[in-house]
Amino acid sequence: MRPLAVIGNVNVDLILGPAAPWPKAGTEIIVDHDELRVGGSAGNSALAWQALGIEFEIAANIGSDQFGRWLAEAFGRRSEKWPARPEKTTLSVGITHPDGERTFFTTTGHLPRFSLADVFAVIDGERLRGGYALLCGGFLTNDLASEYDAFFDWADSHDITVALDTGWPLDGWTEKNCAAARAWLSRSGIALLNEVETTTLAGIADPLEAAREIRSHMPEGVIVVVKRGPDGAIAIGPDGLPASATAPVVKVVDTIGAGDVFNAGFLAALADGKPLASCLAAGTQVASRAISTLPRSYGEPSAPQEPMS
């Protein structure tokens, strides 16, 4: 199995809900469930790998407070070299709604100060050589995003395939943000996008044609994945041929981090040499289980693996 790493945003998620209708100012409502858990795109993917017994590395930073220490504890030895920034740890409060959608309230916190030096403090290029690096949270990790060119140069020099999940820009898909995402994709080997991101970046309504358009501006032999929620996932493979997977029908608890969990399942299968359609199926299955369980579950751990040396 090829080595795996995830690089990006780890923060605290406090999930409450469901809430409907939205309460009036000055009032209080009681909700059915709450869950305090590791969040952020990188954190969600890493939690899934950890639960499934997948060997991986994770590069992130934390704030200098109790929440930061709590995040680090969740990943044990993998977080030993995470730098603690003087800022408070980024906190997201997610309010879920009966249809499974959610509303976030998020503090700025420590995430913008995550840097390339922080990545190199954790990730060794030779150890990850020939593997996959999941890069996420680009619109939240400002310092690192400003150094993405150097990051991609480093990945290329170590034969590391970058799997990019752009995430959703806080100020929306402005032309500036679209241009940034397209530039990042032009250096990536795998695109992991949801349907709205795909069609918005391509300017094409059909998700498969939009994926083809995005792929045409990326290097040769890449994979473009479109995550479609309850409609499963589609992809254009290295050979230019499409593949797809349907999602099982589940009763949704909350959809927070569903795409990140999909990324974890997909990349674990890809690193294990599975065909593209099987990788899509693995991603949809793990994500579907995660969004339909409370406390969140990801499935049974895989067979133990030898740690990367």
Alpha-carbon span 265 to 233, nearest angstrom: 12
pLDDT digit string (tens) for 28-81? Answer: 999 998 989 999 999 999 999 999 999 999 999 999 999 999 999 999 999 999
Q: Which residues contact 85 (CB under 8 A, 6 or more apart)?
A: 61, 62, 63, 64, 110, 113
* Helices 258-271 & 276-291 angle (0-180, nearest 10): 140
Alpha-carbon span 205 to 59, nearest angstrom: 35
pLDDT digit string (tens) for 87-105? Answer: 999 999 989 888 867 788 9
Tell me the chain's radius of gyration from C-alpha atoms. 18
Half-sphere exposure of 49 (CA within 13 A, CB side): 27
pLDDT digit string (tens) for 239-248? Answer: 999 999 999 9
Q: Give me 271's structure tokens.
A: 């690193």
More reliable by pLDDT, 301 or 24: 24
Alpha-carbon span 10 to 22, nearest angstrom: 28
Q: What residue spans of 170-304 are helical by DSSP H?
A: 175-185, 195-202, 207-215, 258-271, 276-291
pLDDT score, position 99: 80
Dihedral angle sign, alpha carbons of residues 196, 197, 198, 203? positive
Mean pLDDT, all residues of the chain: 94
Q: What is the arithmetic mean of pLDDT over 98-120?
A: 91
3-class secondary structure, 155: helix
Using the predicted structure, report yes or no on whether residue 303 has a pLDDT greater than 60: no
Using the predicted structure, report yes or no on whether residue 294 has a pLDDT greater than 90: no
